[in-house]
Structure 1
Amino acid sequence: MIKQELRDPANYNSVIAAVAQDHSRLNEIATATKIKATSLRSFLNNLIELEIVERVVPITEDPNKSKKSVYKIKDGMYRFWYRFIPMRLTLIERGLSAVNKINTKK
Structure 2
Amino acid sequence: MTRFTLDAKCLIELDGNGTAAKDVAALVEAARQGQADVAIVASSSSRYHPGGARLARFSDFKKQMAEVGLGSLSLLRPKAKHGFTYHGFGVLGMGPRWSVSA
TM-score relative to the length of structure 2: 0.33
Between structures 1 and 2, the one with greater helix share: 1
Higher gyration radius (CA): 1
Higher strand residue share: 2
